[in-house]
């Protein structure tokens, strides 16, 4: 099934589509990832690609960017059949990929990054710095950003780094741009600016495939949305004549009407995770400060409540959350648990008091990749499953299986290595780690980042259950819909606590929170 959506500014004379893929099929060791995907991308069109983790999006990106070879199928760029045996082939054909993590060298300058691999040569085969800077400036102009081309990339903001990445792609004469979740770390004003840049590039004839899970963005930026599900192209929609709910339903294969995740995605008013309960003070913080991250934060955490800490990426809420869980050391300030002073200066300390952390960067700090699911789930409670230091593996696995079932984890066995799981399932496993110990407080740092729709719903539901059974939850998040699910929200801006809002005091769109970010 193909969709050709006329993009803004598509040339009348040129009929050839920018990119056409037919029958792309790919399997990994017997497990099919893509099963005959067809897609047509018109020149100058911005085409969204939606789908859960595991639906095949990442595999498709890998194939289009040249990192993987498809088992079957064909790719045509501007009517010409191409085979990408390496990323270099894809780039030579004009297909540039902007990855979520960006692929810049932080220690080098803007100009060097824009011309990476294409450094212009002067006499005696040395680098011609003047030409390089001029070309870099030109590329940046096309992207609409004025940056100092001698600046070191590592010192730039995320939005500026992304502009450099775009300039690099433009300099390489990109005809097709693949953008993988470009806005996950961008604050709202930079998102708008990015959209302006992308729209102007589209008007110039650059075609784009835009991958994101944020429906509002897809609908404001893109001409069409194609939904991948279970390795097939399930449905395509024209954004002018469809709604986000339809896309979400197509992603999951069932109607998610009225669910938490759907509301979160479509921007409707999010139902609450919290029960509104407000028991005695469980944990209190006074004057918490960590130089350079947050300053003078004081608040009380009540038993049974769901407390949100909302802020733009980089406002300190993440670091604050880690500090509460003992994962970061603070510079000054005190914390008390159950009324008595508690230093919480190591994860062990916090865990002993029943506090568990779901860290932001799962892959880097959340789990041991080569270790089994059972091993990861029982990692914080080894003494519980052993006698005289000898592990009872059967009991470990039984408990892991029990939790995996209860949390709805999509795994074939608890012996699977953690790295083979999807993002959402990994997050559930980390949650399970704390459930094994009957943790009292769950501190979640961006709990659904990189998590697909179905699992997002599950995670919100699990947190809601946890709260309903008397547990206390702290959610540090840069996603407004998640803040709206909490009983109370602490708003952080530039490291300071600027507001404390009750659920009832926040409007459905979260304006009350967004305003405070300024």
Partner 1 sequence: MNDSLPPTLPAEAAAPGRPDGPQRPGSRSARTAALGNIRASLRRTYLLFVLLAIIVIGFIATPDFLTTRNATNVISFSAIVAVLAVGQFFVVLTGGIDLSVGSIVAISTVVSALLMQRGLPAGVAVLAALVTAAVVGLLNGVLIVYLGLAPFIATLATLSMVQGASYIIQSTSLIQIQNTAFVDWFSDGSWLGLPNPVSIFIIVMLVAAFVARYTTFGRRLYALGGNREAARLSGLPVNRDLLLTYVLSGLLAGLAGLLAAAQLLQGSSLIGQSYNLDAIAAVVVGGASLVGGRGDPISAVIGCFIISIITNIMNLIGISSEPQLVIKGVVIIIAVFLSSAGGVARIGGALRRRSPGTRKRQSTAQPV
Query: What is the contact surface with partner 1 in residues (CB under 8 A)?
Result: 27-33, 52-54, 58-59, 68-69, 71-72, 83, 85, 230, 252-254, 325, 327, 347-348, 351-352, 357, 359, 364-372, 375, 379-380, 382-383, 386, 389-391, 393, 397, 401, 405, 408-410, 412-416, 419-420, 422, 433, 454-455, 457-458
Between 234 and 492, CB nearer to partner 1: 234
d(CA 211, CA 234): 16
Token code pair at residue 390: 């000898």
Q: What is the smallest separation between the CB atom of 439 and partner 1, expressed in angstroms?
A: 11
Q: Determine the Cα angle at 505 with ends 502 and 510, to 5°.
A: 100
Q: What is the smallest separation between the CB atom of 372 and partner 1, expressed in angstroms?
A: 7
Q: What is the smallest separation between the CB atom of 107 and partner 1, expressed in angstroms?
A: 20
Between 13 and 30, CB nearer to partner 1: 30
Are 93 and 82 contacting, i.e. CB atoms less than 8 angstroms apart?
Answer: yes
Contacts of 352 (CB under 8 A, 6+ apart): none
d(CA 159, CA 170): 16
Secondary structure E strands in 102-252: 176-180, 207-211, 224-229, 232-238
Q: What is the smallest separation between the CB atom of 415 and partner 1, expressed in angstroms?
A: 5
Listing DSSP states for 40-59 in one string gives EE-TT-EEEEEE-TTTTHHH
Closest to 451 (Cα-Cα) out of 470, 437, 471, 431: 431
Q: What is the smallest separation between the CB atom of 399 and partner 1, expressed in angstroms?
A: 12
Task: Scan for tokens 């095949």, then name that residue.
Answer: 56
d(CA 260, CA 460): 7
> Which strand (E) or helix (H) includes residue 416?
none
Q: What is the smallest separation between the CB atom of 391 and partner 1, expressed in angstroms?
A: 6
Q: What is the smallest separation between the CB atom of 384 and partner 1, expressed in angstroms?
A: 10
Q: What is the smallest separation between the CB atom of 273 and partner 1, expressed in angstroms?
A: 18
Q: What is the smallest separation between the CB atom of 453 and partner 1, expressed in angstroms?
A: 9
Between 364 and 518, CB nearer to partner 1: 364
d(CA 64, CA 77): 10
d(CA 497, CA 319): 13
Output 118-124 pairs: Cβ under 8 A, ≥24 positions apart.
118/171, 118/172
Between 113 and 422, CB nearer to partner 1: 422
d(CA 22, CA 128): 43
Q: What is the smallest separation between the CB atom of 422 and partner 1, expressed in angstroms?
A: 8
Between 312 and 463, CB nearer to partner 1: 463
Are 278 and 443 contacting, i.e. CB atoms less than 8 angstroms apart?
Answer: no
Q: What is the smallest separation between the CB atom of 290 and partner 1, expressed in angstroms?
A: 17
How far from the centroid of its chain's Cα atoms is residue 289's Cα?
Answer: 28
Closest to 214 (Cα-Cα) out of 489, 511, 481: 481
Q: What is the smallest separation between the CB atom of 451 and partner 1, expressed in angstroms?
A: 12
Q: What is the smallest separation between the CB atom of 436 and partner 1, expressed in angstroms?
A: 11
Q: Determine the Cα angle at 269 with ends 266 and 274, to 5°.
A: 120
Closest to 145 (Cα-Cα) out of 129, 128, 164: 164
d(CA 62, CA 75): 13
Give, as one character, the DSSP assignment of residue 152: B
Residue 338 has a CB neighbour count (10 Å cut-off) of: 14
Between 80 and 254, CB nearer to partner 1: 254
Between 23 and 508, CB nearer to partner 1: 23
Task: Scan for tokens 């991958």, then name that residue.
Answer: 211
Residue 498 has a CB neighbour count (10 Å cut-off) of: 16
Token code pair at residue 190: 């930079």
> Which strand (E) or helix (H) includes residue 393?
helix 393-406
Token code pair at residue 7: 């993009």
d(CA 19, CA 7): 13
């Amino acid at each position: 099934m193909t969709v050709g959506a006329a993009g803004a500014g598509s040339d009348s004379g040129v009929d050839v589509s920018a990119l056409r893929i037919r029958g792309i099929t790919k399997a990994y060791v017997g497990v099919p990832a893509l099963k005959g995907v067809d897609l047509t991308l018109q020149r100058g069109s911005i085409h969204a690609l939606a789908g859960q983790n595991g639906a095949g999006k990442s595999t498709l990106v890998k194939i289009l960017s040249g990192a993987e070879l498809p088992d079957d199928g064909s790719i045509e760029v501007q009517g010409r059949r191409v085979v990408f045996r390496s990323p270099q082939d894809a780039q030579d054909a004009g297909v540039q990929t902007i990855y979520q993590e960006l692929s810049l060298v932080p220690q080098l300058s803007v100009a060097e990054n824009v011309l990476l691999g294409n450094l212009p040569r002067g006499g005696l085969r040395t680098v011609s710095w003047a030409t390089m800077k001029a070309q870099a400036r030109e590329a940046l102009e096309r992207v609409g950003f004025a940056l100092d081309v001698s600046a070191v990339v590592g010192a730039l903001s995320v939005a500026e780094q992304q502009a450099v990445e775009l300039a690099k792609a433009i300099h390489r004469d990109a005809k097709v741009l693949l953008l993988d979740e470009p806005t996950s770390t961008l604050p709202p004003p930079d998102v708008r600016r990015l959209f302006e840049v992308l729209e102007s590039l589209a008007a110039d004839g650059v075609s784009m495939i835009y991958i994101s899970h944020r429906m509002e963005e897809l609908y404001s930026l893109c001409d069409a949305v194609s939904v991948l599900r279970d390795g097939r192209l399930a449905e395509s929609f024209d954004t002018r004549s469809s709604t986000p709910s339809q896309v979400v339903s197509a992603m999951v294969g069932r109607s998610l009407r009225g669910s938490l995740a759907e509301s979160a995605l479509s921007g409707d008013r999010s139902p609450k995770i919290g029960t509104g309960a407000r028991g005695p003070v469980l944990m209190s913080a006074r004057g918490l400060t960590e130089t350079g991250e947050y300053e003078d934060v004081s608040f009380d955490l009540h038993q049974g409540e769901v407390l949100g800490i909302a802020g733009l990426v980089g406002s300190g809420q993440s670091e604050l959350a880690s500090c509460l869980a003992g994962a970061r050391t603070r510079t000054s300030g005190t914390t008390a648990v159950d009324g008595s002073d508690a230093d919480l200066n190591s994860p062990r300390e916090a865990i002993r008091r029943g506090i568990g952390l779901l860290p932001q960067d799962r892959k880097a700090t959340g789990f041991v990749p080569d270790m089994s699911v059972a091993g990861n789930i029982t990692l914080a409670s080894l003494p519980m499953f052993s006698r005289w230091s000898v592990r009872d593996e059967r009991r470990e696995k039984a408990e892991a299986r029990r939790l995996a079932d209860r949390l709805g984890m999509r795994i074939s066995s608890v012996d699977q290595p953690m790295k083979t799981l999807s993002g959402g399932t990994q997050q559930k496993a980390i949650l399970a780690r704390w459930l094994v110990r009957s943790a009292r407080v769950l501190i979640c740092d961006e709990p659904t980042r990189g998590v697909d729709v179905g699992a997002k719903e599950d995670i919100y539901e699990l947190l809601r259950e946890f709260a309903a059974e008397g547990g206390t939850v702290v959610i540090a998040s840069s996603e407004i819909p998640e803040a709206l699910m909490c009983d109370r929200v602490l708003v952080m801006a530039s490291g300071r606590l600027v507001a404390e809002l009750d659920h009832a005091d926040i409007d459905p769109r979260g304006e009350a929170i967004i305003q405070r970010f300024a």
